[in-house]
Amino acid sequence: MRITPETLREIAQETVEERVRADPTILAAYLCGTALGEDFSLGGTLDIDLVFIHIDQVTPEREIIRLTDEVHLDIAHHPQKQYEPPRALRTHPWLGPTVFACKPLFDRRHTLDFIQASVRGMFNSPQTVMGRARPQAEHARQMWFELKDVGEKAGIKETRLYLKALEHAANAVALLSGDPLTERRFLVRFAQRAAAIGRAGLAAGLIGLLGGAEVQRETLQTWLGQWEEAYAGLPERPNSVALHPARRAYYGRALTALVNGEEPRAALWPLLNTWLEMARELGEDSEAGKNWKAIAAQLGLSGDGFGERVTAFDAFLDQVEETLEEWAQRNGA
């Protein structure tokens, strides 16, 4: 199946038309994510992100639908109240940029038209940009306070919180010059965003916080084999929709492309985050869980080395906070 931007949009439009005919609660629908850009594929795989806005809450809130091994639909269902008041979405770090750039595919009563117009007003003003970025740094700092005294007792729960804190800190920087970071290209895009505001050194710092400073391509290739075995061992219906069987190639082929690319350590973010979720899904005593614990300990993401990572994260957060302050001063925010 040859995939082009036009193909993706045709699939999205057909899906929306089919759903609208069957569900009268749908007020609007839009296409978002990488399908809107030219660089929509990684490792020959991609997802098509669709959002349906409903009159009220709908379950399930998220669906994964396989189209081929290379392509799947990732459908989110939002209640209309999630977009109220529309102007407040300008400073929402994820929903704001998504609505700003999305392509409407269905819009009963011009619901989405009004929301998008409200979001786009003053969206790129320095004050609004800081309104999206600054809370991310604050969330990261709050999480650091929760982690600073954990030390060698750190397990899966603490590691998960640590990775979430890193995500917030990285997005505080990324949001100064663009959209929030997506999972598969997280480290690639962060390096670009940090360089865009004159803080290229933050990219190496983030890799260091993942324990990846000395990790070699060969090591990552070995881990990728263990990752593949773990994914193959997941149940047909995992609790985490992010680990849906239709996403196995989406992650696996992307990881292979990153590991074999110019900067193999760029694979660390999606590798570690998905593996952590698999360990939670299968249990710490499973083979996947044991391999995860061994790698996390090796990287200092649990056990004896965790305290050092958290201390280093404190210094990294200081740099992030200084970056935000300097950007605000330069731009009159």
The secondary element (H helix, E strand) that includes residue 76 is: strand 71-79
Give dist(CA 57, CA 183) in Å, integer: 26
pLDDT tens for each residue of the chain, 333 residues long: 678 889 999 999 999 999 999 999 999 999 999 999 878 899 999 999 999 999 999 999 999 999 999 999 999 999 999 999 999 999 999 999 999 999 999 999 999 999 999 999 999 999 999 999 999 999 999 999 999 999 788 889 999 999 999 999 999 999 999 999 999 999 999 999 999 999 999 999 999 999 999 999 999 999 999 999 999 999 999 999 999 999 999 999 999 999 999 999 999 999 999 999 999 999 999 999 999 999 999 999 998 899 999 999 999 999 999 999 999 999 998
Contact between residue 11 and residue 69 where contact means Cβ atoms under 8 Å apart: no
Q: At what angle do helices 268-282 and 217-232 cross, to 10 degrees?
A: 30
User: How do residues 14-30 score in pLDDT, each as one tens digit?
Assistant: 999 999 999 999 999 99
- 212: amino acid identity, one letter: G
Phi, psi of 32 (to 5 degrees): -145, -175
Query: What SS3 class is residue 4?
Result: coil
pTM, 2 dp: 0.96
DSSP 45: B
User: How do residues 242-282 score in pLDDT, each as one tens digit?
Assistant: 999 999 999 999 999 999 999 999 999 999 999 999 999 99
Give dist(CA 321, CA 315) in Å, integer: 10
Query: What SS3 class is residue 103?
Result: strand
Domain ranges of the chain: 5-120, 126-319
- 166: amino acid identity, one letter: L
DSSP 267: G
The total number of residues written for the chain in this structure: 333
Integer CA distances (angstroms), 284 to 39, 153, 294, in order: 36, 15, 11
CATH class of the domain defined by 5-120: alpha beta
Query: What SS3 class is residue 135?
Result: helix
